[in-house]
Amino acid sequence: MTWLTIGLLACLSPLRAQYSLGNTGLMNIPTADMHEPGTFLLGGNYLPDGMTPFNFNTGNYFANISLFSFVELSYRCTLLKTTRYDGKRGYFQQDRSMTARVRPLKEGKYWPALVIGMNDPFRNTGNNYFASVYGVLTKGFSLTGNDRLSLTAGYFYPMNDYSVQDGVFGGVSYSPGFCRELLVSAEYDTQGINVGTAIRLWKHVSVHVFTREFKSVAGGIRYECVLPH
């Protein structure tokens, strides 16, 4: 009975999040989906070596809010392993990053949604490893039995010479009709292919896990709610 209750709570509304960075998207790429106005996200991720521009295992934490149906802002901090003044090595510093997203075109029956986004827009806040401007298109399709298939394609334009976001990206996601809170996705994020899954176990909490070409595994958790507005 307990597992039946959890299953019912997990099948309430579709999942939307770029899980590794706390934005709307798939596992490691953005999509042109947008959350309901007032949606607030708070969460964190474990990111192994190979998932970030850093040569060590790390993690991040983030906050995200959808101010309107067409505007989304997020802020995140990634832990940096550095050597302290006493010679001890540990996660003593953080890489701070921001994202702003605007949707000029909402998805229609015959056309995809379009989102324009900017990562790390301020040049004086460190190395700006994720600094880029991107455009992304997403189109969803309803299949037999209310299953949902979505296709995404976009392009990152790097804002400096060492941004890890550079070039074409794309992905596909699938949510079964019997549980729209279950998401399975595959994507190319300009660095490699990721395959992963996410599910909401309770009304406001979801977990996810994905792998980069089956060489390393990342995962995380997030809390989601709609603020009064």
Q: What is the mean pLDDT of the chain?
A: 88
What whole-number distance in Å separates Cα of residue 222 and Cα of residue 200?
9
For 58-118, what is the HEC assignment?
EEEEEEEEEEECCEEEEEEEEEEEEECCCCCEEEEEEEEEEEEEEEEECCCCCCCEEEEEE
Nearest to 22 by CA among 51, 62, 58, 59: 62
- State how far the alpha carbon of 209 is from the alpha carbons of 63, 143, 163, 184, in Å: 19, 25, 24, 10
Classify 124 as helix, strand or coil.
coil
- pLDDT of 146: 83
pLDDT reading at 19 higher than 90: no
In the structure encoding, which two tokens stand for residue 94, read together? 């953080």
Is the confidence at residue 17, as pLDDT, over 50? yes
Domain-wise residue ranges, the chain: 2-226
Task: Quote the CA–CA distance of 102 and 68 in Å, as a whole number.
Answer: 9
Task: Residues 2-226: name the CATH superfamily.
Answer: monomeric porin ompg (2.40.160.40)
Q: For position 50, what pLDDT does the model report?
A: 86
Reported confidence tier of residue 71, pLDDT bands at 50, 70, 90:
very high
d(CA 125, CA 4): 48
- As a whole number of angstroms, the distance between CA 187 and CA 205 comes to 23
Q: Round to whole Å and give the CA distance between 224 and 229.
A: 15
pLDDT tens-digit map of 93-130 = 998 889 999 999 999 999 999 999 999 877 655 677 88
What residues pair up with 187 in beta bridges, in sequence order? 171, 194
Residue 203: the pLDDT is: 85
C-alpha to C-alpha distance for 153 and 176, rounded to whole angstroms: 22
Strand partners, 217: 211
The residue assigned the tokens 């997030």 is 222
Q: Above 60 in pLDDT, residue 1?
A: no
Supply 71's token pair: 């505007």
Structure tokens at 168: 């074409």
